[in-house]
Structure 1
Amino acid sequence: MYRIAICDDDKEFIDYIKKIIIELGMNYNNTEYYEYESGELFINALKKNIEYSLIILSVELKNMKSYDIAFKIREIYKDTILVFCSGIYEPNPISFKTMPFRYLLKEYSREKMVKEVREIINYMKKNEKKIEVHYNCIKFKISIDKIYYISIAKRGSVIHTSKIVEQLETDCFICDERMIDIYNRIKEFGFSYAHNSYIVNLKYIKINGANELEFPNGEKLTISRSKIQEFRTNFAKYLEK
């Protein structure tokens, strides 16, 4: 699930940019939207530590300096994609210290705005390196670097991880995303099918014999005959990198 925050004291612009994002496929089935019509509301929301995938922030907020908000964002969200929007082109040297991905000008034609937003959304999807899971009715995100492998389930998938929290009694978590959808999102980060029922993180595997995989926790999986050629190709590319 993606989470997109839009902070602008112009409600019409919030509605406009949100409509474009939805038209580009980020509907309510895969995206949660957070709208803030003032800097104060957004600052208060930051205390909740919502894990945003994308933040669109106006540089012309009333009563607050937007760059102060941007620095606050970076204190909490070091990797979240930050996009500034403005009615006038005003890139400030200070703003670059907050590592914005892009500026959006409100005066863009609709065609130009759609093009820019499409590029932002594609970049967001490409760089989403966390997967949302739930355990005992609590939802949270796990970095893909912590994942050993992902197996298919009747509804969604099961995420098998290294020990992420000592207090938890399990290293397996439920994800509502289908395994195939997860794979299409993270395959370029070193994941490969080893079987129709699971994809593995090539970072952690040890290969025993011709078709057995072993993980650091001692768990073992088998590479299926139908996937062995694909797996070997992906593993060779991974080693090259």
Structure 2
Amino acid sequence: MLHIAICDDDLILSKTLYQFIFETYRDIDLFIDQYDSGEEFLNKIISSKKTYDLLLLDIEMNKISGIAVAKELKKLSPKTYIVFITSHDEFATVGYEVSAFRYLVKPIKKAKLIEAIEAVKTELLSQKSITVQNREGEYVIPVNDMICLEAQNQDVLIYTLDQKILHRGNLNEYEQQLSKDGFYRIHRSYLINMRFVKSYSKTDVTLNGGLVLPLSRLRFKNFTTHFREYIKRTAR
């Protein structure tokens, strides 16, 4: 689930950004709010305690500037990633004092916008973890480190970057839990993290590290579509 706020007094640009993001990311849980001024945005944050994963913030707004909004937001919601929108490259240096994540220079290129959003998603995903238990103990596994999951009778074997963890689990439940995070069920026994896909054919998928897994014939066409969309979104 991704929560995005757009704060820009250019209503046409704000609407354009909203529509493009909504259409591009229609396959994930996404919430987008629009604000016409820095005052409106900060009042909402203060009154409702609402938080966002990403704020697309115009630097040059009437009354209160984007820089002032960012400074206040860092006190109220320090974990929100800020991507500044600006008409002038020289404003980029100003953002260091508020730890701006990225800058988008007008006119905004769609590829640059997607790149910024995907970078935020990657940051958020790297912070997301799951916890599993087996006889050896409890493991906290970063989702970004999970290469694939394999169903083995009543157990699930999780392949990570540095180990394999077998525990009692259900692959269907993992599929529901991780499908929004770039995971895809290529076979009844395998759920893979698409960020690790090296190549694929009609019969199998090769992951980084050399692991080759079977690709169900009935899932090939759908997998191809999902993987191409994933590549487009992440600009790999």
**The TM-score by the shorter chain falls in which range?**
0.5 to 0.7
Q: Which amino acid aligns with 1:54?
A: L
Q: Does 1:38 align with 2:40?
A: no
- Relative to structure 1, the CA distance from residue 8 to residue 222 in structure 2 (aligned partners, 3 Å threshold; closer, same or farther) is closer
Q: How many residue pairs are counted as aligned between the two chains?
A: 168
> Structure 2 residue aligned with 1:126, among 106, 116, 122?
122
C-alpha separation in 2, matches of 1:45 and 1:199: 44
Q: CA deviation at 1:199?
A: 7.0
Secondary structure of the 2:90 match is: coil
1:137 corresponds to which residue? none
1:146-177, CA deviations, whole angstroms, 9 ceiling, x for partnerless residues? x3149xxxxxxxxx999xxxxxxxxxxxxxxx
Secondary structure of the 1:90 match is: helix
2:85 corresponds to which residue? 85
1:106 corresponds to which residue? 106
Q: Where does structure 1 lack aligned partners over 5 or more consecutive residues? A: 131-142, 151-159, 163-182, 214-220, 228-233, 237-241
- Relative to structure 1, the CA distance from residue 125 to residue 57 in structure 2 (aligned partners, 3 Å threshold; closer, same or farther) is same
Q: Which amino acid aligns with 1:90?
A: E
Runs ≥4 in structure 1, deviation > 4 angstroms?
196-203
* TM-score (norm. length: structure 1): 0.55
C-alpha separation in 1, matches of 2:157 and 2:60: 46
Identity percentage over the alignment?
A: 22
- Relative to structure 1, the CA distance from residue 223 to residue 206 in structure 2 (aligned partners, 3 Å threshold; closer, same or farther) is farther
- Relative to structure 1, the CA distance from residue 223 to residue 38 in structure 2 (aligned partners, 3 Å threshold; closer, same or farther) is closer
Q: CA RMSD in A?
A: 4.0
Q: Does 1:148 align with 2:104?
A: no
Q: Where does structure 2 lack aligned partners over 5 or more consecutive residues? A: 172-188, 191-206, 210-236
C-alpha separation in 2, matches of 1:7 and 1:31: 17
Q: Which has the higher helix share?
A: 2
- Relative to structure 1, the CA distance from residue 161 to residue 44 in structure 2 (aligned partners, 3 Å threshold; closer, same or farther) is farther
* TM-score (norm. length: structure 2): 0.57
Secondary structure of the 1:82 match is: strand
2:145 corresponds to which residue? 189
Q: CA deviation at 1:222?
A: 7.5
